[in-house]
Structure 1
């Protein structure tokens, strides 16, 4: 049985240990993205810290009554009464075990060091929090009505461009899609940045949204403030709907839906409605419509805010998708295996630091290569390539090899020039354009022919052109 003072002492001790645990986590130097995210996964510590401070606040409020009792006229009787209750408690529970606070924090640190937790937190496509995984939402989007069918890369760029979608179709399936997109971005944000306050972001987005909505200037929902949504004469009481044109209203009165609603009103004994009631019903319908539109618009504003905060992950995702398109299946598998090896090596705590003052590349054994080998291969010579975005290649071998790699091929494709053998050793954009014009003028360009130049790879890694691959597949040899 603990007194109020003892409870306060234990709470202060726990707060100090929690603060030290958080500091120790942030003092670590993460060597990979996965480790960096795991270091911010301090939600249990933060929750415990909040719980302790809440308990202390309540204890300090109740402490005044205890101090007054101990310092009053009956202080000795109060003291001996508390002493008697403590003795009685330990007499009833003589063998009660007490776990020291140190052991509790040791157990917590062991649990926090579990590497499997990070793997369970993210999917394989999310790459330990580096990339967004919007494949399922992209498939849901392209199946909506009245949307422009786009590929996944374009969707990553335009998924928050809501003003391009017709306002009159932003209900039903579109609203369900919006809710799923918002839920995913919130879930991803909590996993990547668990120490950030999502409520503060939501409040800030709501404040900005309310200002634009009150002015009628929110993108995609622009409207004139104070404008009437339709004449009272064009309001259908049976269907609870307003119309802006007389012709549309007259056509609606002949529809089956209206006739059914009108007959339902007559069965209830409602034959006519006065002007005042009609205006009241129209006002209720307009207010309900405005409220519904505001909820949908605010969901769009939240998604745009989350997309802005997760801008770096969004750009990395687009770059990753572009890079994967230029790789074969075999290269993707090799890349995944290399990433797994790098993560294992970076997470190894027992590995000693390697003394490498000259910044030499590491060999197959993880140690710096000899300096004579470094000089022999010219790894200290820089070879920049403007077509690759001014990327610098170290050494002649890496420079020669990069002309057939994805980065250079993507740069040539952006320039609209085929990456043929004529452009080997060309690194400047101006030179590439000049050579391309010269080749076109002399008629020596290599036009792309799918049957002979498009390559296909079978399961064994053999590469064929399109014509040979189709022939072998048709004969059942693949």
Structure 2
């Protein structure tokens, strides 16, 4: 890209217009009876285009803010008394560039690249039509906290963690890691299935609802007891204390 701040600004505006045009063309080219896979891949492409637009817009904003004064100096140079000498200086610089790189093409002729899919879909997921939780299932069946079951039964009850007695969960590192990885998979699956949704906003909403219910002791399976972790003044963590109402 040119060292000229004004040229960079013009080029980014041009890129943003081409991005909008590319997105519109992509949407108009969609089949009326598009398959699940085609619609999902389209959403991922749209998300990729939006990320490009966001990145370009940030660069554009920085150029307009002109924190180092480069834009102001350049505007003064092309509008002042030395406007013609500045023009020929830039013209000569452009000619020198093309003498050095005679095969260089105009960037305006370049198209917008198709965004690469960041998500890796497994064969079992079939583009997020199904979940692929076989690894989690193996860990599930090897934990004494849970009852043995087949994979299909597991899919119907893996989320019912409130049915596990608290004394089996508290202080159980294996269980803690399992739940943590279970959440990680479900969160990432949601992102892959709904690339245009802001997953962090949904999580923040759920966290807020949880905190409200937790304070009101309305979380299923935890209505009666509260677990408190105490820390002494010397900084030592002591085992959780179960307080009954």
Do these two structures clear the TM 0.5 threshold for a shared fold by scoring above it? Answer: yes
On the 8 A contact 2:66/2:72 being kept in 1, the answer is: no
Secondary structure of the residue aligned to 1:189 is helix
Shift in CA distance, 70/57, structure 1 to aligned 2, threshold 3 Å: closer
User: How far does residue 224 in structure 1 lie from its aligned partner after superposition?
Assistant: 5.8
Stretches of structure 2 lacking an aligned partner (at least 5 in a row): none
Structure 1 segments of 4 or more deviating over 4 A?
67-72
For 1:136, the equivalent position in structure 2 comes to 135
For 2:237, the equivalent position in structure 1 comes to 285
Q: Aligned partners of 1:173 and 1:49: how far apart in 2? A: 43
Shift in CA distance, 13/90, structure 1 to aligned 2, threshold 3 Å: closer
Shift in CA distance, 83/159, structure 1 to aligned 2, threshold 3 Å: same
**Per-residue CA distance 1:46-105 (angstroms, 9 max, x = gap):** 221111111111111119954477459x9224x357436524633653333244334332
Alignment of 1:372-451 (within 5 A): none
User: Is residue 56 of structure 2 the alignment partner of residue 103 of structure 1?
Assistant: no
User: How far does residue 191 in structure 1 lie from its aligned partner after superposition?
Assistant: 2.1
Secondary structure of the residue aligned to 2:66 is helix
> What is the root-mean-square deviation of aligned Cα atoms in Å?
3.6
Secondary structure of the residue aligned to 1:160 is coil
For 2:178, the equivalent position in structure 1 comes to 177
Q: Aligned partners of 1:22 and 1:220: how far apart in 2? A: 48
For 2:145, the equivalent position in structure 1 comes to 146
User: Is residue 94 of structure 2 the alignment partner of residue 90 of structure 1?
Assistant: yes
Shift in CA distance, 211/85, structure 1 to aligned 2, threshold 3 Å: farther
On the 8 A contact 2:136/2:182 being kept in 1, the answer is: yes
Secondary structure of the residue aligned to 2:110 is helix
Q: Aligned partners of 1:222 and 1:64: how far apart in 2? A: 59
Bigger Cα displacement from structure 2, 57-66 vs 136-145: 57-66
Q: Aligned partners of 2:224 and 2:24: how far apart in 1? A: 51
Shift in CA distance, 69/54, structure 1 to aligned 2, threshold 3 Å: closer
Shift in CA distance, 209/6, structure 1 to aligned 2, threshold 3 Å: same
Shift in CA distance, 127/224, structure 1 to aligned 2, threshold 3 Å: closer
Q: Aligned partners of 2:121 and 2:210: how far apart in 1? A: 31
For 2:11, the equivalent position in structure 1 comes to 10
Task: Name which one, 1 or 2, has greater alpha-carbon Rg.
Answer: 1
**Per-residue CA distance 1:307-351 (angstroms, 9 max, x = gap):** xxxxxxxxxxxxxxxxxxxxxxxxxxxxxxxxxxxxxxxxxxxxx
Shift in CA distance, 176/70, structure 1 to aligned 2, threshold 3 Å: closer
Shift in CA distance, 70/9, structure 1 to aligned 2, threshold 3 Å: closer
User: Is residue 4 of structure 2 the alignment partner of residue 51 of structure 1?
Assistant: no
Q: How many residues align?
A: 231
For 2:195, the equivalent position in structure 1 comes to 194
On the 8 A contact 2:6/2:74 being kept in 1, the answer is: no
Q: State the structure with bigger RCO (CA 8 A, min sep 6), 1 or 2.
A: 2
Alignment of 1:251-290 (within 5 A): 280=233, 285=237, 289=240
| TM-score after normalising by structure 1 | 0.42
User: How far does residue 150 in structure 1 lie from its aligned partner after superposition?
Assistant: 2.5
Q: Aligned partners of 1:124 and 1:83: how far apart in 2? A: 59
On the 8 A contact 2:5/2:74 being kept in 1, the answer is: no
For 1:19, the equivalent position in structure 2 comes to 20
Alignment of 1:319-398 (within 5 A): none
